[in-house]
Structure formats: C-alpha cells, structure tokens
Amino acid sequence: MHRTVALSALLLPLSIACASGEREDSNFSATAITTASSVATSDAATDGSTDDSSATASGTDGSSAGSTDSESGEAETDTDDASTDTAVDTTDTEDPSETTDTTDTDTSETTGVELDGVVFVHVGIGLDSNLGTAAEPKRTIQAGIAAAAELIDGVVHVAEGTYEVDYQNNKFVTLTDGVSIFGGYSADDWELRDPIAHPSVIVDKSASGGTDSEPNRAVDGGVGVGSDTVVDGFTIQGGTGSHAAAVVLLDSSPTLTNNRILGGAASGLRSYGVWCESSAATLMYNAIEAGDAAGLTGGYGVSAGVDCDAVLDGNFIYGGGGSSSTYGVWIGESAPRVYNNFVHSGEGMNSPIGVWINQASPEVANNTIICGKPGFGRGVYTSDTTAATVENNIIVGFQYCLYETDTFSEIVSVKNNDLYCDYVARTGWNGASHLELAPMEDSFNTGGATAAGNVKVEPTFVEPNDHDYHLKGEAETLCDLSQGGLDLSDLYTLDVDAAERSAPWSIGAHELDDACM
C-alpha cells in the first residue's frame, strides 16, 4: 500500500499559521472543492430507478453530453473537467488490474485498453445497459460495482466526471465485498490515470434529512466489506442535510487510499468527513475534511465511534469550519490506531480540538496536531473512562496541548512529544494545569501514568500558511524534534509521505533525516 498522489495535491488552500500565532481567513472548506479540480457539480435530474448514483460530465470531444441513459432515465449535463499544474506521482498504484495483459481497443469515443476482470464506468458516454467494456462503459458507479461482482477478482475503473448521488432518495454508492474501485482515469484515454488532473467526483446532493445515527452520505461502506476492497483516487463530497457525511463505515472495513474526502456544509448539527462504527477500516494517504456545520457540535474530520478500531495512517485530517466546536478526530468507545497524520483541529469558535478521546483506548503516535484558532482549544482531550497512549507527537498552538477532564480520563503514556502550547497539560487526577514540562511529567507519573522524554520547542514548518507541516530541513529544525522520537518500528515504519523512518526517529508525522541544530 503506497501513496500515489502527493498529499499537497489533495489539499485545498489553507491560510492559517498556528505555530506563529497568526491567523488569516481560511478558505479551506468543503464547498471550495472547485478550487483545485474545476469540477462543476451541476444539478442532474434523478429519478426513482434502482441506480444508486447519477452523474454528470462532458462528452469526450468537449461538447455537451446531452444524451439520456435509457436504463436509468438520468440526464447528463456539462462538466468542465480541468487538470491542475500539480505534479502527481501515479506510477505506483495498488490497482491489481494494472499488471494484466492488455489489448488495444479502437473506438470513436475514447481510447484505451480492455482488461480482464475490469468494468469501466464513464459518465460522459456510458450507459448502464452497456457491457462495461472500455468501448462500451457503464454510466453509474453502482452499476459498475454490480457488474464487477459477477467477475472473478472484478474491479471498477471510473473516468473523470461528477457522479451525483442523493442519499435521501436512496441513490448512493454502496461497496461490495471484494470489488475495488479506482478513480482518476482520463475521459479520453483509459491508459491515463491521474486523480488530480482527471478527478472522479462522487457528490451527495441531499439537502435535508440525516440523523446522528444515520447521517446522509455519498459512499456507504457496505455491510461485511473487508480490507481487500479498495477505494482509491476519488473526490467524495457530503451533502447539506442536518447530519451529513462523505463516507459512512458501519460494520464495514474497506481500505480507503489517495482520496479527497469532504464533509458537506451540514445545515444542522454535524458534518463528518468519515463516520465510522463497528469497523476495522484502513484509511491511508487521504485528505479528510469536515464541512462547515451550523450546529453546536460542528465538524468532525473523522468520527471513530463505538468499536471503530480503524487504522488512520498518513492522512491530512481537518475538523472543518463549524460555527461552534470542531474536531480533527473524535474517538469514542473504540481503540483505533492514529499514526503519522497531520491533524488540524478545525476552526470552531468555542472549542477546536485536535483529537478528542472519550471512553476509548487508542494509540496516538507520530502525528503533527495543529491548532485552528491559536490560544484556544485542546490538542488531545480525554474524557470519561479512557486509557490513551500519546507518544512522538508534535502538538502546537492550543491553549492546552493535553487535557484530562478528570481522574478517569487517563493518558497512560506521555512520551517524547513536543508540547508547544500555552499550557503543556492539565492532569485529571489532581486538576492541575502545567506551564512547564518537569512538573507535568512529575504529575503524570505520580498519578500512575508514564511520562518522559517530552520537549517544549517551537516547530519550524516548511509553509504553515499553505498547510505544509513538514519540518524544515537544512539545519533549520532543532535536533530535539528531528532526532527526539521513540523507535516504534514494532507498530509501523513509514512516515506521512510513506518514507522509511530511520533511527533516531523524528517527532511528528514527518521523518526528517537532515542536518539539525
């Protein structure tokens, strides 16, 4: 499993400098998806057919694809797909079909290859009544999944374009166990794949409905789906209902890689990038963003609820711009592993929190956790019966880096973190707030936890105003950061860029093997 899209290419512009205490108006919003991809999400007509996704795109000759799918009755409208100038490495993919022998196919609409076990989906020229070949592709992603499920090791290749769904009208993408889907293929040539230059966008048009236990969604993980089912190279955007998510994983454990996942601008209480319960999903190398929820509880980049024992590794996770509280990662009654991520708390007016841990026992290690409102909020916040491990993290810009609410909300291991906040910690067993490291570590150790090796130094990021939280090289980063981490190679060996970590390990998401000071 590898990063095939540069993390910076998946992100939208963000104008925040937490480390320096400066803040500008942020345009890092799910509603600004067109900034990077120039994809127009026009209002395509949908009906009550069994197809779970509607779609819009331009014809391959650049003219409007004004045909109507005879099977679904869904109208096709224009989409202006424009590539960006961002350099993206797409030579290394996890698509098993890429190694299949190919035969050239000559068609008048699109060039490419026929691959055994592959179903092709193309919104611009496809029909769901087609066979799903490169020359005669399906139109909707759900039809492609259904066809691939009938094949041995079937996979789905999805051309660029906007694939509209509507959860409130029972139209959404549902995964099937064993069927992987890969986006980012050129509308004109199936041999060209670049998810940034050729975005395949799944967007939920639901404008109402959704509850806390059943939020609206663009993609549903499907019950019983396992880790060999991969979703790679898509932009997935939630709707604007009361509770809106881009992706919902319930009793489902797929692998999501190299995607841009955007929670919708929920009109009610909550917007989620990813909502997860009863899952052992793997989320790697994605940009995951909550939307701008209007309610009191705001945005959740990732909500890891009951029994969501997922792996979050190498992602950029953003808590959104909700009007009240925002959370990069919320963890409740579960034990996920949170490694090597850039986690941004979001910009909640009342309480931006990087990682909230409630009645849970996660491992939180080698993350760079960044404030969205300097001097406010909490980096890692624990509540109720908690037993968390917090090691090798950079936590910067908050009022409190670590905050235990009471005796039962324990962080059991606090080792080798960089805690650069107004207060390094509040320890729950005695209710004491600590400005400096020595009394903090004494307090944790006296209370039964283990605390050692922590530092309090200002991290030097490459370009925080442009959401680049890599440590600076060329001897511009303190050795306390670049060489101050624990060796956790029994858990993982790669950093946020999928680069090998080497001894002595760096603190934070980025492994810096450069000169230090």
Q: What is the DSSP string of 74-134?
A: -B---------S-----S----GGGGS--EEE--SS-BEEE-TTEEEE-TTT--TTS---S
Q: What are the two backbone dihedrals, phi and then psi, of residue 112, each rounded to the nearest 5 degrees?
A: 160, -155
Listed in order, strand segments (DSSP E) in 333-396 are 337-339, 342-344, 351-358, 363-365, 368-370, 378-383, 386-391, 394-396
Q: Find the mean pLDDT for residues 45-50.
A: 34
* pTM given for the model: 0.83
d(CA 443, CA 404) in angstroms, rounded, equals 12
What is the reported pLDDT for 291? 85
Helix (H, G, I), strand (E, B) or coil at 22: strand
Least confident of 17-26, 144-153, 271-280, 381-390: 17-26
d(CA 364, CA 256) in angstroms, rounded, equals 20
pLDDT digits (tens, 9 = 90+) for 317-372: 999 876 678 999 999 999 999 999 999 999 887 789 999 999 999 999 999 999 98
CA atoms lying within 13 Å on the CB side of residue 405: 14
d(CA 203, CA 349) in angstroms, rounded, equals 27
Q: What are the two backbone dihedrals, phi and then psi, of residue 187, each rounded to the nearest 5 degrees?
A: -70, -15
d(CA 38, CA 431) in angstroms, rounded, equals 50
Q: Find the mean pLDDT for residues 8-30.
A: 39
What is the reported pLDDT for 2? 66
Least confident of 82-91, 118-127, 427-436, 475-484: 82-91
Listed in order, strand segments (DSSP E) in 267-377 are 270-277, 282-284, 287-289, 299-304, 311-313, 316-318, 325-332, 337-339, 342-344, 351-358, 363-365, 368-370
Least confident of 11-15, 158-162, 382-386, 465-469: 11-15
Q: Which residues pair with 158 in a beta bridge?
A: 121
- Whether the predicted pLDDT of 512 surpasses 70: yes
For the record, the structure tokens of 44 come out as 């395509």
What is the reported pLDDT for 11? 66
Average pLDDT, rounded, for the chain: 83
Whether the Cβ atoms of residue 323 and residue 350 lie closer than 8 Å to each other:
no
Q: Which helix (H) or strand (E) holds 480?
A: helix 479-482
pLDDT digits (tens, 9 = 90+) for 374-386: 778 999 999 998 8
Q: Find the mean pLDDT for residues 293-318.
A: 88
Between 36 and 494, the higher pLDDT residue? 494
What is the reported pLDDT for 73? 32
- Whether the predicted pLDDT of 412 surpasses 90: yes
